[in-house]
């Protein structure tokens, strides 16, 4: 490996992590919550609401997949010298690491904004609002899949340099 390819790979990792962490924090702040009233025995009576877990799940998959596709296409267009299978595999790894960072930052910001209530510290009938736990499951592979697919599709539709020069003449 050359210094240039290492630098290019490090730049991709840094830019991807920054983007995913920023959007992950925003996702955590915008996550829907359950609302309810504290009832006897430290239990919460949740008011009827749409499926908060599903909304968090689908927005996680969409946000990470879209971000990974954008990062992959930006890398493909901005760095023609690094194009190839090595960068494709590196983007898959970067997308996986960035998705994990997105998830963790989102959980931290969500828990800071909507902490779980301490049942002993509240009176019965008190209003509570909280974001439920989140397990991404199979959506952890959405970003690596979208990164690979976007990068591969960009490579597939980009004409070879010989074809471009022949069509100009």
Average pLDDT for runs of 10 along the chain of length 169: 71 96 96 81 72 91 97 93 92 97 96 77 73 89 97 91 59
Task: Copy the structure tokens of residue 14.
Answer: 């840094």
- Tell me the pLDDT tens digit for each residue of 71-100: 999 999 998 888 899 999 999 999 999 999
pTM score, whole prediction: 0.84
Cβ-proximal residues to 112 (8 Å cutoff; 6+ apart), any chain: none
How far apart CA 88 and CA 152 sit, in angstroms, is 8
Task: Copy the structure tokens of residue 26.
Answer: 């925003």
Other Cβ atoms within 10 Å of 15 Cβ, number: 16
């Amino acid at each position: 490996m050359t210094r240039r390819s290492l630098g290019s790979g490090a730049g991709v990792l840094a830019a991807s992590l920054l983007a995913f962490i920023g959007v992950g924090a925003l996702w955590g702040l915008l996550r829907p919550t359950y609302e309810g009233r504290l009832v006897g025995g430290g239990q919460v009576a949740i008011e009827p609401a749409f499926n908060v877990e599903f909304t968090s799940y689908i927005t996680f998959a969409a946000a990470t997949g879209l971000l990974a596709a954008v990062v992959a296409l930006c890398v493909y267009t901005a760095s023609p010298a690094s194009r190839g299978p090595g960068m494709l595999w590196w983007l898959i790894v970067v997308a996986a690491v960035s998705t994990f960072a997105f998830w963790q930052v989102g959980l931290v910001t969500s828990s800071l904004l909507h902490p779980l209530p301490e049942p002993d510290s509240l009176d019965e009938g008190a209003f509570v609002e909280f974001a439920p736990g989140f397990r991404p499951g199979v959506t952890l592979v959405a970003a690596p899949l979208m990164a690979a697919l976007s990068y591969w599709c960009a490579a597939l539709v980009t004409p070879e340099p010989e074809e471009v020069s022949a069509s100009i003449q």
